[in-house]
Amino acid sequence: LTASMTLDPAFRVAPVHRRTFGSFVEHMGRCVYTGIYEPGHPAADADGFRTDVAALVRELGVTTVRYPGGNFVSGYRWEDGVGPKAERPVRRDLAWHSTETNQFGLDEFITWTRTLGIEPMMAVNLGTRGLQEALDLLEYANHPGGTALSDRRAANGHPQPHAVRMWCLGNEMDGPWQIGHKTAREYGRLAAEVARAMRMSDPGLELVACGSSGSSMPTFGAWEAEVLEETYDLVDYISLHAYYEEHDGDLASFLASATDMDHFIESVVATADAVRARLGATKRVNLSFDEWNVWYLSRHQAAEPRTDWPVAPRVIEDRYHLADAVVVGGLLISLLRHSDRVTAASLAQLVNVIAPIMTEPGGPAWRQTTFHPFALTAATAAGTVLRVEPESPVRETARYGAVPVVDAVATHDPEHGRAAVFVVNRAVDEPVTLHVDLRGLAAERVVSCRTLHDDDVYAANTAEHPDRVTPAENKDTALDGGRLSVVLPPVSWTVLTLE
């Protein structure tokens, strides 16, 4: 098979937003406990943070981290997680049917993000709680001092304000599974009240209203419209969440998951802009894709519901294979392609829970297959996103109809004289030779071309074989007189850098 595309620095979409490379830490399963935090682990620092995990988080290139949930936040009392650890209450977490020890909370999270140079992104509880508690949390986190709650933060060892800029107004409030689930109108009214008061406290905040938990929600579209009618002037973002999995061995449809992400993003942009027109507003609401990943959700839903209340149990510790990683790479292409409106995103989650990084308690930490496309995209995408519009053979898929085999996006960084191409070959068993016309780019050489591929699409990394699937240098490239070609193996993701 052959495909072609043009890479022209004039075909600009938007800047590469560093917040596209965010992730998510929820108090769920072993994401926090025995994930990022494990006092007593041989690699733990004085604060109990695992330095082996921190090194992998750095390598992953994560820029923002959303916290503390997820479904967990809708039953959470933030005060439980601050102050002397011995006095923190133990509570039940209804969302994940487990026991929360509260040994890790807001102050520990902020310390952890600061050590890693990560921007924290907080969520407030709009399930069991509301306006007053959100304002209290904001005062504790961000007020400089001289008030009851900011002084309490200082007394807890944090005299400097945490300066959290981005705040999510609840989580997945459209989902019937959510504690305190609401109709769009009920949620929109509450989110508007909370946003208005939070802005009175600090007009510089960036606020995210909950959009739909997925494009297949029965309220999708209507939810966004109603929520934005209530909140339009008060929020900066509307959120999107999406998880993909292979259903019934249908690999071709699974590999085309970015088709759904494209449709989801474009539908939310259209809905937000329709509300803008109706309200006669001038500003635009952007999109925060603050939960996205591959998640074998149907397996989780088919499992017997939990009857016990364990501390940090193994929950949704999906083991990712090569095809999952190619899908993650493809979803990143979709996010980048929509950088004009998707200006923040969070890979859900960061450690152990549907995560690129896995750990064993007291044991090693390693990279899942999905770690690689994320880390390489975060490290390579720079400057401006370019539209590339590949001409590609198409393949019929059961879920999405005819889908182009090749999907791609590019970035251009004139300051450093570099360009990068991110491309997937979604053909199940055929390689593709991709020809790229480097119009106006004056590229002289291929700096590197790395491809993630394996003859076994279901090969995965494990504690015993942590490097079973890793990207390899792709030598099948040629650059001649402004024409580049590269051979893409079937079911593969590739990043190519030029200068």
Within residues 177-236, the interface with ligand AHR by CB under 6 A covers 213
User: Is residue 100 within the footprint of ligand AHR (CB under 6 A)?
Assistant: no
230 is catalytic: no
Contact pattern for ligand AHR over residues 340 through 379, marking x by CB under 6 A: --------xx------------------------------
Cα–chain center distance at 259: 17
Task: Give whichever of 215 and 448 is closer to ligand AHR, judged by the CB atom.
Answer: 215
- Contact segment (CB under 6 A) with ligand AHR among 37-45, 68-76, 105-113, 228-236 equals 68-76
Judging by DSSP bridges, how do beta strands 237-244 and 206-209 pair with one another? parallel
Cis peptide leading into residue 70 (ω within 30°): yes
Closer Cβ to ligand AHR, 291 or 324, answer by number: 291
Q: Can you list the positions of beta strands (E) in 54-131? A: 64-67, 91-93, 98-100, 119-124
Q: For residue 118, give the DSSP letter.
A: P
Interatomic CA distance for residues 202 and 200, integer angstroms: 6
| Contact predicate 172/24, CB 8 Å | no
Please name the residues in contact with 55: beta carbons below 8 A apart, sequence gap of 6 or more.
none
CA of 149: how far to CAs of 106, 133, 139, 146, in Å? 13, 12, 6, 8
Catalytic residue among 172, 193, 226, 230: 172
Which one of the spans 65-73, 82-90, 129-137, 307-315 is the region binding ligand AHR (CB under 6 A)?
Answer: 65-73
Taking the least distance from each CB to ligand AHR, the nearer of 241 and 453 is 241
- What is the C-alpha to C-alpha distance for residues 105 and 121, in angstroms, rounded to an integer? 14
Return the number of the residue (27 or 158) whose C-beta is nearest ligand AHR.
27
Binding mask 257-296 for ligand AHR (x = CB under 6 A): ----------------------------------x-----
Q: Is 69 in the site for ligand AHR (CB under 6 A)?
A: yes
In angstroms, give the least distance from the CB of 416 to ligand AHR: 35
The single residue listed with the structure tokens 């989780």 is: 300
Nearer to ligand AHR, 70 or 471 (CB): 70
Stretch that binds ligand AHR, among 45-53, 67-75, 107-115, 385-393 (CB under 6 A): 67-75
Q: Nearest-CB residue to ligand AHR? A: 70
DSSP 8-class letter at 46: T
3-state secondary structure of 254: helix
Q: What's the min distance (Å) between Cβ of 177 and ligand AHR?
A: 7
Angle made by CA atoms 37, 26, 33, in degrees to the nearest 5: 25
Of residues 239 and 384, the one with the C-beta less far from ligand AHR: 239
Largest CA distance in the chain: 69
Q: How many CB atoms lie within 10 A of CB 340?
A: 17
Q: How far is residue 367's CA from residue 76's CA, in Å, rounded to a whole number?
A: 30
What DSSP assignment string belongs to 285-334? Answer: -EEEEEEEEE--HHHHHHSPPP-S--BS---S-PPPBHHHHHHHHHHHHH
Residues 159-178 that bind ligand AHR (CB under 6 A): 171-172
Closer residue to ligand AHR, CB minimum distance, 139 or 174: 174
As measured in angstroms, the least distance from the Cβ of 346 to ligand AHR is 10
Rounded to whole angstroms, the Cα distance separating 478 from 496 reads 12
Q: Which of 133, 226, 246, 291 is catalytic?
A: 291
Residue 71 in the binding site for ligand AHR (CB under 6 A): yes
User: Per CB under 6 A, does 339 bind ligand AHR?
Assistant: no
Residue of 35, 68, 70, 471 interacting with ligand AHR (CB under 6 A): 70
Does 291 qualify as catalytic in the annotation? Answer: yes
Reported in sequence order, the residue ranges of 183-224 that DSSP labels E, i.e. its strands, are: 206-209
Number of chain positions touching ligand AHR (CB under 6 A) = 11
Binding ligand AHR (rule: CB under 6 A), the pick from 6, 26, 335, 427 is: 26
Rule CB under 6 A: which residues touch ligand AHR?
A: 26, 28, 69-71, 171-172, 213, 291, 348-349
- Residues annotated as catalytic are 172, 291
